[in-house]
Amino acid sequence: MTTLYVDNIAPNLQSRVSVPGHVIQVVQTFKDDTYVTTSTSRVDVTGLSATITPTSSSSKILVQLDMGSFAMSTYAYLYLMRDSTDICVGATASGLVSCTMAGYVGSSSESTTYYGARRDSAQYLDSPNTTSAVTYKVQVNNGTTGTILINRNNQDSGGYGMRVPSSITLMEIAG
C-alpha cells in the first residue's frame, strides 16, 4: 500500500469542473418599479433584462420570466428575446401574432375597472452556442390603441392601486 502525504491542496484556477445537467451560474434581474407604454411598435421594457456569459458553448441557458400585471390594452403583446432574436414565441401563422404572452381587455369599460394584479410566467431552455455575453430581455407593444402597464394595475392611487414585481432569472446548465 502506498501513502500520499501533502501539506496543501489548491484548486486549479485555470479550469472548471462542470457536471452535465447541473447549474453552473445564476443571474437575476428584479424589477419592482413600473413601466407604461402606449407604443404600437415593439419597445424594450426598461429594467427588465439580464446578461450572462456562458462558460462553455455547449451550455444551455434556462430563462425564467415572471411578469407582474402586464395587460391594460385592447391587445397587448409581450416577447422574450435573446439579444435581438425572439425566443419562446408561438408558431407563425397567417394573420396571427407570434408572441410569448398576450393580454386582452374587451372594452373600455372593462379597462377602467381592471383592479387585479396579474402574474404571468414563461420558461425557455435556450442554446445560445457561445461563450460571449448574451442579454435576455422583454419587449412589448400594443396591437391597437391602448396602454400596457408593467408591475401595476390601472388604479395607480387610492384603495384599488396595486404594485407587483417582475424578474428574469438565467441559469447556465452544463452541457
Q: For residue 83, is pLDDT > 70?
A: yes
Q: In this structure, are residues 130 and 42 in contact, taking their beta carbons and an 8 Å threshold?
A: no
Q: What is the pLDDT of residue 124?
A: 97
Interatomic CA distance for residues 34 and 125, integer angstroms: 27
Q: For residue 71, is pLDDT > 70?
A: no
Apex 110 CA angle, 107 and 112, nearest 5? 110
Q: What is the pLDDT of residue 9?
A: 76
Cα–Cα distances in Å, from 7 out to 2, 3, 10?
17, 13, 10
SS3 128: coil
DSSP conformation letters of 139-161: EEEESSSB-EEESB-S--SGGG-
- The arithmetic mean of pLDDT across residues 138-167, rounded, is 81
Query: What is the percentage of the chain residues whose pLDDT exceeds 90?
Result: 49
All 3 cell numbers of residue 74? 385592447
Interatomic CA distance for residues 133 and 120, integer angstroms: 27
Q: What is the pLDDT of residue 74?
A: 67
Q: For residue 15, is pLDDT > 80?
A: no
- The arithmetic mean of pLDDT across residues 19-23, rounded, is 90
Q: For residue 62, is pLDDT > 70?
A: yes
Instruction: Give all domains of the chain, ordered by start, each with its CATH number.
Output: 23-173 (2.60.120.760)
